[in-house]
Amino acid sequence: MISDPARPEKPVLSRAVRLMNKARDAFYDRRYEEAVERCQETLEALLPSVGDDSPPTVPPTPDDMAVRFLERYAGLLPLLEAERIAAVFTFFVRRKARFRYERGRPLPRREWWDFLQISREDASEVLAATRFALEAVQRGTPPER
């Protein structure tokens, strides 16, 4: 039996499903930052391994991980979803980029608070994109939209 190269092995899928369940549980417990982190881990679990066995000298950036994920599973996802899924990987990087701090100046109260807080809506979007990606990978067939 020839396995589908776009479909990961069963242990990989099982791990991703467990992480997705943890993300969902954290979301419903109103731990939105943890929910986003678990969503990122869910998608990272589905990433194809790098070709050689040597450990990477530099860890991949969130953008690199998003590109690797989309290169592997682009055929299973509509283009509109691909952007939302890439945003899951880069969520904290984009949030940090919005925070402005100049060395030697006091921390801006409101911006710092916004940086730390993740709204229910933001977490919900991340959770939905992750769930959609996981379900598409599990099905292993392109969606009909």
Give 46-71 pLDDT, tens digit per residue: 987 765 555 656 788 899 999 999 88
Positive or negative: CA dihedral 25, 26, 30, 32: negative
In which band, very low, low, confident or very high, does the pLDDT at 74 lie, cut at 50, 70 and 90?
Answer: confident
In which band, very low, low, confident or very high, does the pLDDT at 93 lie, cut at 50, 70 and 90?
Answer: confident
Asked whether residue 145 carries a pLDDT value surpassing 50, the answer given is no
Domain 10-49+62-139 belongs in CATH node 1.20.120: yes
pTM score of the predicted model: 0.77
Per-domain boundaries in the chain = 10-49+62-139
Mean pLDDT of the chain: 81
